[in-house]
Amino acid sequence: MASNPFFSREFPSSLEAMPEVLGHALTVLADRHWIDPGHEFSARLCLEEAMVNAVTHGNKCNHARRVRVEMAEEGDLCHISIFDEGHGFNPDCVPPPDTVHTGGRGLCLIKHYMERVRFDDAGNRLEMWLRRCHTQPAGGQSA
In angstroms, the CA 105 to CA 87 distance is 21
CA 94, distance to chain mean position in Å, is 18
Nearest to 82 by CA among 57, 56, 119: 119
Least confident of 92-96, 107-111, 129-133: 92-96
Q: H-helix or E-strand containing 22?
A: helix 18-31
For residue 70, what are the β-bridge partners? 8, 81
Inform me whether the pLDDT recorded for 138 exceeds 60: no
Inform me whether the pLDDT recorded for 20 exceeds 80: yes
Q: What top-level class would CATH report for the domain 7-140?
A: alpha beta
User: What DSSP string runs through 74-138?
Assistant: ETTEEEEEEE--S----GGGSPPP-SS--TTHHHHHHHHHSSEEEE-TTS-EEEEEEEPPTTPPG
Give the pLDDT score at 135: 56
52-83 confidence digits (pLDDT tens)? 999 999 999 999 999 999 999 999 999 999 99
Inform me whether the pLDDT recorded for 125 exceeds 90: yes
The gap between the terminal CA atoms of the chain, to the nearest Å, is: 30
Q: What is the phi/psi pair of residue 141, to 5°?
A: -95, 145
Taking the domains of the chain in order of start, what are their residue ranges?
7-140
Nearest to 54 by CA among 93, 5, 87, 77: 87
Handedness of CA 65, 41, 128, 8 (dihedral sign): negative
Statement: the pTM of the whole predicted model exceeds 0.75: yes
Give the pLDDT score at 86: 93
Give the pLDDT score at 38: 76
The proportion of the chain whose per-residue pLDDT surpasses 70, expressed as a percent, equals 91
Confidence of residue 13 (pLDDT cuts 50, 70, 90): very high
